[in-house]
Chains A and B, each alone.
Chain A
């Protein structure tokens, strides 16, 4: 039997933009066990509900994560609206959908870049981030913020998208779609990229199901789950078809995310075409009394929000179950049996968002 050694990985590591610590048990070059330890980014955000009133907390909820920020704010706002029985105007629902999809495009492009960086393809990394800046420009045009939008509020949204902004978004989408084609080709057909992705870190459908994985990670293993099918916001009126793959390896995960970029572009076009006229918010009176669950699809998978109000302006309990938390078990499973050199790639492949997970 080969000698076993334990190699600490993180929390500070070149490939990681965020701190996560893994103890890797190695047998020669092969990883046979993984022990993750987390808590480096824990802030105690959920406890802040008791110090901020429920309208103000909306902006704290967005700071669960800076990448998928709009979705977190949306989940919280929807949960409070559900408790208080507020019907949000249709235009606001469409605006939320538009910002959610813009968030998804920027998040997936960010992931593509980090993935390219992880297998050492610097040029591809820079190309992905170059395109990503265009969608951030659109976010800045419509909301004023690049990564944290702060346009959501309980009862609707704070800003409207004018027809000129809509046209600017559409022409940006044309640009992004055109630029994405060669990037997709490089990811999926380049010989050296496939060396690092094909057959690496396979997670079977059964494993993904048993470990409760979600989002693109589970869809790449053949599980057809997409919370957008629930029809929250305006998704009920748009055509959403979950994108799945069957291989369950790095290659499949690249393919799913790249195809989801095109799907998001199509959803944005549909939403901008169908967006109705009208108010963007309704006045909110009273305090939330009761509790509600909301599920929605973040770029990384299914996120669950729970809000409990007690008729006070301070909410009693706010809880988030984030997609990365669900996917960490799957990550440990894919790392077992992998080569040590593939570990950074496998960590990036689930698109980890540690700051969501630990809050």
Chain B
């Protein structure tokens, strides 16, 4: 079971991003940047995913979807907010339909800034997520309480 920490699977969901960060996330998976060399595989199934990459701000329509995907993922799990929209709402923060960053709905562990976030910084965030994932895995194994990320309005860690 320890091998799980060497090949975490990644799930990407576009909340309300402008696509800029999405295509950069996809570019990370393709040969030039290639996050697969860290053992990471992109999956479409939340139940098999360990790392949740979220791009874009959260609005009322997609908030339940984001929450549902997060709840479907099994512990341990790590959430990475990619792009300034997922971090804070970014350029759309003042728009009437935007609630704010992803941390309004789910606990976020790692924030990757940028508009659009560059592949290098996304990889940096993902590698940090792999480290955090290993830590959580050990916590789960040793039956310690799991640490959680930052949730705006929640307690956080």
Contact = CB atoms under 8 A, between A and B. Distances in A.
Interface of A: 11-15, 17-19, 39-45, 47-48, 51, 59-60, 63-67, 69, 110, 113, 125-126, 129-130, 133, 136, 145-148, 353, 355, 358
Given A11-B62, A12-B13, A146-B116, A18 B19 contact: yes
B65 A148 contact: no
B61 interface: yes
Contacts, number: 123
Interface residues of B, number: 40
5 contacts: A12-B13, A43-B95, A48-B94, A67-B23, A148-B116
Contacts of A66: 17-23, 116
Interface of B: 12-24, 26-27, 30-32, 43-46, 56-57, 59, 61-62, 65, 69, 91-92, 94-98, 115-116, 118-119
Nearest to A356: B19
B12 to A, nearest CB: 8
B16 A355 contact: yes
B116 A51 contact: no
A106 to B, nearest CB: 9
A18 B30 CA distance: 18
A43 B59 contact: yes
Contact of A17 (B18, B26, B59, B65): B26
Given A43-B92, A48-B94, A147-B116, A355 B62 contact: no
Contact of A43 (B16, B23, B30, B118): B16
A69 B96 CA distance: 22
B14 A43 contact: no
- Among A39, A63, A126: residue with most chain B CB under 10 A: A63
Contact of A42 (B61, B69, B116): B61
Nearest to B56: A41
A41 B16 contact: yes
Nearest to A137: B32
Contacts of B69: 12
Contact of A129 (B21, B31, B62, B92): B31
Given A12-B65, A13-B44, A147-B116, A129 B19 contact: no
A27 to B, nearest CB: 26
A17 B14 contact: yes
Contact of B65 (A11, A59, A65, A130): A11
Contacts of A60: 91
A40 B92 contact: no
B91 A17 contact: no
A40 B19 contact: no
Given A44-B97, A146-B118, A39 B18 contact: no
Given A126-B31, A130-B31, A147-B116, A63 B95 contact: no
Contacts of A65: 18-19
Contacts of B57: 43
Contacts of B96: 44, 47
Contacts of B30: 113, 125-126, 129-130, 133
Going nearest first, the 6 A-B pairs with the smallest beta carbon separation are A14-B44, A66-B20, A66-B19, A129-B30, A44-B95, A44-B97
- Among A43, A113, A136, A147: residue with most chain B CB under 10 A: A43
B23 A110 contact: yes
A126 B36 CA distance: 13
A129 B27 contact: yes
Contacts of A14: 43-45
Given A130-B32, A147-B116, A67 B27 contact: no
Contacts of A136: 27
Contacts of B59: 40, 42-43
Nearest to B16: A41
